[in-house]
């Protein structure tokens, strides 16, 4: 690969090197050797360098966009079927900081700053956040934060290459809430004490044409199972369903208040929450219990969005076939995100429901995580040509961009999608 016109490293010359290893290197433009960290994926000529050597190239065709022209209104009109799909826009639910950081540093040449407790670090993080989505070619940024509910989590070090953070999993056996006594003792968060600074800052600093898609972080079904543990929740569902309803209703009322605080944002173009309710072969609990306890809250949130003239898109993992008609006809979702090929490939889902709602994403995570960059490009073309040609479709991951996705695979998907959109616009 080239380094500002100079031959520097090739994938072959480093083929057998281990990932994330420090090397002393000498470059003609540097007087002394620099230690850098190579985030190396052996099947690619894509390289990312750490901040002290962030001038290194990243091999893409169109990225970063030099002069992005986001059009959030067109994006929404395409997904709502109000205008012909003249291009297939990008969409994403969450992009992990572990993937964003090397791209911000190595591709955009910016200094990374984690989101900290002080305003200065928060502003630096949010500026990078905006620039990342903008220069990657998105018409929007998507952002979420959660009220601080008491939840039991399992925490271990993130094993993804280049990550120094921890990962959390819901504790499925031990809970923060299992009895009415717990319910009464819990210090429930107060919406009026929540700091909405990040939402307001993003709303005030988006480039011209960009929109904000946002939500409360995590849905009611997710949070109740995180608070009670899935095991405790299922037990109480049988032994004391009134407790389940009380917790769900408390969560729902708090989230209603949360949405009241963000729905006034003038750059908000869609409400796009996540609430995982399924697994490979079905819903996590009976469809009737979902219809009774949880879908009415989504219906309320959708109504709040619709009253503001905004679409309500839903990210929900798993096999939701038994409640899809409820989500479309009763809840009133305008689009669905999260697909997995071993459940239903996105093109098959679109053939079944695409005449009723928008279809968002669909690049299977197993392809993004384990295939070559070229295979990712090929699958991107397939989805754009298949789903994009039908309309009401945006290309992106089938779930999110977690920390273990190789950055070059993420960029291969985005780069290919941008090139195809440019070709379609000619």
- Tell whether 311 and 181 lie within a shared domain: yes
State the residue range of the domain holding 48.
1-52
**pLDDT > 70 in the chain, percent:** 86
- Give the mean model confidence (pLDDT) for residues 342-365: 98
pLDDT grade for 329, boundaries at 50, 70 and 90 = very high
**Can you give the pLDDT at residue 165?**
87
For residues 49 and 106, the answer to whether their CB atoms sit within 8 Å is yes
- Tell whether 40 and 67 lie within a shared domain: no
**Can you give the pLDDT at residue 426?**
64
- Tell whether 64 and 46 lie within a shared domain: no
pTM higher than the cut 0.75: yes
The CATH number assigned to the domain holding 311 equals: 3.20.20.210
**Can you give the pLDDT at residue 29?**
29
- Tell whether 19 and 144 lie within a shared domain: no
Over the chain, what is the mean pLDDT? Answer: 88
SS3 per residue for the chain:
CEECCEECCCCHHHCCCCCCEEEEECCCCCCCCEEEEECCCCCCCCCCCCHHHCCCCCCCCCCCCCCCCCCHHHHHHHHCCCCCCCCCCECCCCECHHHHHHHHHHCCCCCCCCCCCCHHHHHHHHHHHHHHHHHHCCCEEEEEECCCCCCCEEEEECCCCCCCCEEEEECCCCCCCCCHHHHHHCCCCCHHHCCCHHHHHHHHHCCCCCEEEEEECCCHHHHHHHHHCHHHHHHHHHHCHHHHHHHHHHHHHHHHHHHHHHCCCCCEEEECCECCCEECCEECCCHHHHHHHCHHHHHHHHHHHHHCCCCEEEECCCCCHHHHHHHHHHHCCCEEECCECCCECHHHHHHHHCCCCEEECCECHHHHHHCCHHHHHHHHHHHHHHCHHHCCEEECECCCECCCCCHHHHHHHHHHHHHHHHHHHC
Q: Which of 53-57, 160-164, 226-230, 404-408 has the lowest mean pLDDT?
A: 53-57
Could you read off the pLDDT of 205-224 as tens digits, one per residue? 999 999 999 999 999 999 99
Q: Is the pLDDT of residue 372 over 60?
A: yes
Q: Is the pLDDT of residue 297 over 50?
A: yes
- Tell whether 292 and 210 lie within a shared domain: yes
- Tell whether 77 and 195 lie within a shared domain: yes
Q: Is the pLDDT of residue 288 over 80?
A: yes
Q: Which of 57-61, 263-267, 339-343 has the lowest mean pLDDT?
A: 57-61
pLDDT grade for 89, boundaries at 50, 70 and 90 = very high
- Tell whether 40 and 133 lie within a shared domain: no
* Total domains in the fold of the chain: 2
Q: Is the pLDDT of residue 241 over 60?
A: yes
**Can you give the pLDDT at residue 170?**
84
- Tell whether 47 and 64 lie within a shared domain: no
Q: Which of 34-43, 238-247, 327-336, 364-373 has the lowest mean pLDDT?
A: 34-43
Q: Is the pLDDT of residue 52 over 70?
A: no
**Can you give the pLDDT at residue 287?**
98
**Can you give the pLDDT at residue 71?**
98
- Tell whether 167 and 245 lie within a shared domain: yes
- Tell whether 35 and 74 lie within a shared domain: no
- Tell whether 48 and 64 lie within a shared domain: no
- Give the mean model confidence (pLDDT) for residues 330-334: 98
Q: Is the pLDDT of residue 14 over 50?
A: no
**Can you give the pLDDT at residue 59?**
58
């Amino acid at each position: 690969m080239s380094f500002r016109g100079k031959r520097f490293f090739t994938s072959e010359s480093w083929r057998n090197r281990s990932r994330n290893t420090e090397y002393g290197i000498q470059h003609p433009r540097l007087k002394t050797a620099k230690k850098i960290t190579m985030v190396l994926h052996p099947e690619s000529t894509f390289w990312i360098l750490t901040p002290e050597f962030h001038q290194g190239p990243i091999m893409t065709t169109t990225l970063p966009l030099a002069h992005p022209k986001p059009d959030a209104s067109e994006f929404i009109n395409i997904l709502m079927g109000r205008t012909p799909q003249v291009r297939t826009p990008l969409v994403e639910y969450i992009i992990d900081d572990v993937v964003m950081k090397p791209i911000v540093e190595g591709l955009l040449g910016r200094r990374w700053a984690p989101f900290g407790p002080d305003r200065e670090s928060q502003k630096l993080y949010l500026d990078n956040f905006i620039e990342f989505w903008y220069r990657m070619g998105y018409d929007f940024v998507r952002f979420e934060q959660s009220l601080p509910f008491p939840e039991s989590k399992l925490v271990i070090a993130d094993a993804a290459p280049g990550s120094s953070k921890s990962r959390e999993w819901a504790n499925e056996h031990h809970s923060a809430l299992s009895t009415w006594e717990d319910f009464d003792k819990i210090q429930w968060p107060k919406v009026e004490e929540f700091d909405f600074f990040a939402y307001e800052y993003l709303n005030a600093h988006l480039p011209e044409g960009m929109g904000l898609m946002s939500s409360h972080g995590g849905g009611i079904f997710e949070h109740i199972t995180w608070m009670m543990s899935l095991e405790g929740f299922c037990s109480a569902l049988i032994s004391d369903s009134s407790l389940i309803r009380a917790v769900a209703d408390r969560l729902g009322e708090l989230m209603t208040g949360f949405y009241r605080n963000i729905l006034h944002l003038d750059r908000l173009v869609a409400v796009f929450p996540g609430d995982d309710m399924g697994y490979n072969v079905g819903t996590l609990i009976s469809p009737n219990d979902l219809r009774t306890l949880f879908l009415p809250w989504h219906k309320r949130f959708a109504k709040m969005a619709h009253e503001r003239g905004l679409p309500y898109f839903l990210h929900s993992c798993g096999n939701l076939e038994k409640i899809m008609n409820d989500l479309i006809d009763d809840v009133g979702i305008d689009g669905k995100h999260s697909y997995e090929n071993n459940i239903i490939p996105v093109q098959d889902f679109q053939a079944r429901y695409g005449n009723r709602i928008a279809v968002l994403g669909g690049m299977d995570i197993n392809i993004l995580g384990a295939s070559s960059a070229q295979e990712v490009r090929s699958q991107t073309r397939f989805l754009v040509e298949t789903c994009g040609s039908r309309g009401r479709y945006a290309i992106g991951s089938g779930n999110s961009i977690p920390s273990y996705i190789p950055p070059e695979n993420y960029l291969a998907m985005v780069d290919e999608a941008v090139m195809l959109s440019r070709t379609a616009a000619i």
